[in-house]
C-alpha cells in the first residue's frame, strides 16, 4: 500500500511532456509510480478534473530573515511553492560580525523594503559565519525546502568593514579573504553566490549597495571559488548603462567560475531596448560554451500603491507628509476634506534628485491602474488613471484623490514599473520564450509594502495558460516546466520538479478551472507588528511536501509543532538513479 495516491488527475509532469490522465503514487517522501489504476494508498486524493503538477521551485526570493522565524514562508506557500532559494541580489544576513547587525538590517530594509523593526525583533543572530547561518536555518522548523546563497553585500561588509559601505575598491588581500569565505560557504552547503550592480539598490539612508562598484579583480577572484570547488551558481542584477564593459565584466565572472550564471532581464522605460542586447549577448556566450541565462519575471515588475502601502502618489507632497504615519482613518478623513484637498492639489511634488525613480512613480499617470479584486496584470492603456481622468474631465491628481479613499482607503493602484513600456506583455512573451531564460524575480519575502510578486506562479498559470486576451499564451506543460524542472536544474536541484519515480514527492493538486488570484492586502503579522502585502489564491486544493499534504487551499495543515517536512538544502541535489 502506498502512503498517498492522487487519483485520476490531469498529470503535467514538469518535463514539458503533454498532459495525461494518470494516478500518482507517493511512498517514503518520493514519487513511487505514475500510471493508470495504481494500487491503494493510506491516503487518497480524488484529482479528477484537476491538474497534478510538481511543487513549484522559486529560485529568486528574499526570505533570509523570515526563514529564521516563520516555518511556512508565506505568501509563497499559498501559491504552490515547495522549494525556495534566497540570498539573491547580494543581500542577506551572513556572514556578519556582531557590530554590523544594524548595518545589514538597514541595507536589507532599503534594498528590499523589509521593515527594519521586524528584522530587529525577528532575527536572533545565532550565527556569524555563513556555515553557522546554514546551521541556524537547518535547526529551524521548515514547511518547505530552502536553499541559501552567499550575498556579496554581507560578505564585503564582513571583510572590508566601513570601506565596503564607502564603495572602496577591494585590495588583493580583501579578495583573497572573500574568496576563501565563499569557498567555505560552498563546501558547507551554499547553493551559490549573488551580487548587485544596480543603482536601484540602496540602503535605508539612500546609499548604494556595497557591491555596486565592485571591480573585475574582485568579482572574478570571488568567482574563482566556484571553480575551485566545482560547486554553486552565480546570480546578479545589473543596469547595463555602459553596456559593453558591463556585460564583459559579468561574462568574465561566468568564465572565471565555470559554473551557471543567471541575471535579471527587465525592460526599463529609460532604456527600453537594453534587454534585447543582453539576451543577444547571452546567446553568443552560450554558443561559445559560457553558461549564462536570464531570469525573467513572467509579468511586469509591479509596484502596488495606496494609502495602506508604503507609497502613494501624494507621498512627496509637503501637505501630505504629516499623514505618512497616521492611521488609515485619519488619512481618509483628510483626503475627503475639501480644504485639505485644495491645498494638496495646489502643490507640486517635492523634487528629490536622489529619488528620481520614486518621482516617476508618483507622476507617470499613464502607468497607474486601479487594481480590481481580481487583478489584471496586462491592463490596457484606456484603463490607466490618465485615461480615466481624461474621460471624467478632471485632472489625474483629482481623480486619484477620489480613487484612493474608496474601500475606506484600501483601494490600491498597480504600477507596472518594469516590462511594460509598450503597454502590453508582448516583450515579456519574447523574453519568456527565449531559449536561454528562466522564470524568476518573484522577490518573495521582500518589498513588503510596495510589491507582491510572490504570486508569480499563480499569475503565470492563469494569465499565460488560461486568461490572456491581448495576445497569445503558452501551453500549460511548457509553463509548468518553467516553474518546476527548469528552475530546479538551474541551481543544481536535480531531484525535484518532475513527477516520475524516484523524484521528490512534492506535488500540487490544482482546480485550474476555478483558480483565481485576489488583489494584495496589507496584514500586520511580521515581528513587532510590521506590515506586509500578502495575496491569496483559490484553487490549490492540496500542496504536498515529501509525500504528505502540507497545505490545503493555501493554508497550512500541520502546525509549527508538528513534524514539518521541509529541509535546508546543502548544496546541489543529485537526480534519482535510473
Q: For every residue of 118-168, which 3-state class applies, written as one string?
A: HHHHHCCCCCCCHHHHHHHHHHCCCCCEEEEEEEHHHHHHHHHCHHHHCCC
Is the bond leading into 21 cis (omega within 30 degrees of zero)?
no
For 88, list phi and psi in degrees, rounded to 5.
Answer: -85, 165
Position 204 scores a pLDDT of 85
Structural domains in the chain?
A: 57-301+421-461 (3.20.20.140), 303-417 (no CATH)
pLDDT recorded at residue 370: 98
Whole-model pTM: value is 0.96
What is the reported pLDDT for 578? 64
pLDDT of residue 307: 97
Here the cell at position 327 is: 492611521
CA distance 283 to 62: 28
User: Is the torsion defined by CA of 429, 431, 433, 437 positive or negative?
Assistant: negative
Q: Which residues of 201-220 are buried (b: 16+ CB within 10 A; e: fewer)?
A: bbbeeebbbbbbebeeebbb
Please give the pLDDT value at position 355: 67
Sign for the CA dihedral angle at 130, 177, 293, 441 comes to: positive
Angstrom distance (rounded) from CA 514 to CA 564: 29
Tell me the DSSP string of 422-484.
TSSSHHHHHHHHSTTEEE----BT--TTT--GGGHHHHIIIIIIII--SS----HHHHHHHHT
Looking up cell 559560457, which residue turns up? 290
pLDDT along the chain (578 residues), means of 10: 97 98 98 97 98 98 94 96 97 96 92 86 95 97 97 98 97 98 98 96 90 97 98 97 96 98 96 97 98 97 95 92 95 97 85 72 95 97 98 97 97 97 98 98 92 96 98 98 98 98 98 98 93 96 97 88 90 92
User: What is the three-class DSSP state of 100?
Assistant: helix
Handedness of CA 60, 66, 72, 78 (dihedral sign): negative
Amino acid at each position: 500500500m502506498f502512503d498517498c495516491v492522487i487519483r485520476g488527475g490531469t498529470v503535467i509532469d514538469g518535463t514539458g511532456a503533454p498532459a495525461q490522465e494518470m494516478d500518482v503514487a507517493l511512498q517514503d517522501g518520493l514519487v513511487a509510480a505514475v500510471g493508470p489504476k495504481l494500487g491503494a494508498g493510506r491516503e487518497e486524493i480524488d484529482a479528477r478534473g484537476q491538474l497534478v503538477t510538481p511543487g513549484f521551485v522559486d529560485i529568486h526570493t528574499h526570505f533570509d530573515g523570515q526563514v529564521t522565524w516563520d516555518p511556512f514562508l508565506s505568501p509563497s506557500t499559498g501559491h504552490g511553492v515547495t522549494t525556495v532559494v534566497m540570498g539573491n541580489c547580494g543581500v542577506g544576513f551572513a556572514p556578519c560580525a556582531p557590530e554590523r547587525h544594524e548595518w545589514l538590517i538597514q541595507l536589507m530594509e532599503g534594498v528590499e523594503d523589509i521593515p527594519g523593526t521586524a528584522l530587529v525583533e525577528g532575527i536572533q543572530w545565532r550565527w556569524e559565519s555563513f556555515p553557522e547561518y546554514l546551521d541556524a536555518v537547518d535547526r529551524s522548523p521548515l514547511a518547505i525546502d530552502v536553499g541559501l546563497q552567499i550575498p556579496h553585500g554581507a560578505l564585503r561588509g564582513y571583510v572590508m568593514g566601513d570601506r565596503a559601505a564607502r564603495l572602496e575598491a577591494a585590495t588583493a588581500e580583501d579578495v583573497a579573504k572573500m574568496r576563501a569565505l565563499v569557498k567555505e560557504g560552498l563546501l558547507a552547503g551554499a547553493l551559490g553566490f549573488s551580487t548587485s550592480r544596480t543603482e536601484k539598490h540602496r540602503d535605508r539612508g539612500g546609499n548604494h549597495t556595497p557591491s555596486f562598484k565592485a571591480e573585475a579583480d574582485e568579482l572574478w577572484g570571488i568567482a574563482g571559488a566556484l571553480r575551485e570547488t566545482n560547486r554553486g551558481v552565480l546570480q546578479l542584477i545589473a543596469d547595463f548603462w555602459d553596456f559593453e564593459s558591463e556585460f564583459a565584466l559579468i561574462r568574465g565572472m561566468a568564465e572565471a567560475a565555470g559554473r551557471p550564471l543567471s541575471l535579471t532581464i527587465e525592460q526599463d522605460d529609460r532604456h527600453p531596448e537594453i534587454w534585447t542586447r543582453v539576451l543577444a549577448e547571452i546567446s553568443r556566450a552560450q554558443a561559445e560554451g559560457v553558461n549564462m541565462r536570464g531570469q525573467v519575471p513572467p509579468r511586469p515588475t509591479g509596484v502596488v500603491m495606496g494609502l495602506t502601502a508604503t507609497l502613494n502618489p501624494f507621498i512627496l507632497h509637503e501637505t501630505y507628509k504629516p499623514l505618512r504615519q497616521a492611521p488609515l482613518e485619519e488619512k481618509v478623513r483628510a483626503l475627503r476634506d475639501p480644504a485639505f484637498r485644495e491645498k494638496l492639489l495646489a502643490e507640486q511634488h517635492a523634487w528629490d534628485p536622489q529619488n528620481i525613480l520614486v518621482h516617476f512613480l508618483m507622476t507617470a499617470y499613464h502607468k497607474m491602474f486601479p487594481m480590481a479584486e481580481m487583478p489584471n496584470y496586462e491592463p490596457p492603456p484606456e484603463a490607466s488613471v490618465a485615461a480615466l481622468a481624461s474621460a471624467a474631465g478632471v485632472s489625474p491628481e483629482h481623480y486619484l484623490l477620489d480613487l484612493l479613499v474608496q474601500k475606506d482607503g484600501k483601494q490600491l493602484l498597480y504600477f507596472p514599473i518594469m516590462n511594460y513600456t509598450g503597454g502590453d506583455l508582448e516583450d515579456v512573451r519574447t523574453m519568456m520564450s527565449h531559449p536561454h531564460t528562466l522564470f524568476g524575480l518573484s522577490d518573495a519575502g521582500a518589498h513588503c509594502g510596495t510589491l507582491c510578486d510572490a504570486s508569480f506562479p499563480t499569475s503565470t498559470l492563469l494569465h499565460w495558460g488560461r486568461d490572456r486576451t491581448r495576445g497569445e499564451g503558452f501551453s500549460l506543460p511548457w509553463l509548468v516546466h518553467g516553474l518546476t524542472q527548469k528552475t530546479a536544474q538551474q541551481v543544481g536541484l536535480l531531484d525535484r520538479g518532475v513527477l516520475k519515480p524516484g523524484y521528490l514527492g512534492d506535488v500540487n493538486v490544482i482546480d485550474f478551472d476555478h483558480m483565481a488570484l485576489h488583489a494584495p492586502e496589507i496584514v500586520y503579522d511580521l515581528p513587532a507588528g510590521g506590515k506586509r502585502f500578502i495575496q491569496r489564491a483559490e484553487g490549490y486544493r492540496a500542496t504536498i511536501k515529501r509525500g504528505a499534504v502540507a497545505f490545503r487551499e493555501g493554508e497550512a495543515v500541520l502546525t509549527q509543532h508538528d513534524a514539518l517536512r521541509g529541509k535546508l538544502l546543502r548544496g546541489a541535489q543529485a537526480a534519482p538513479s535510473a
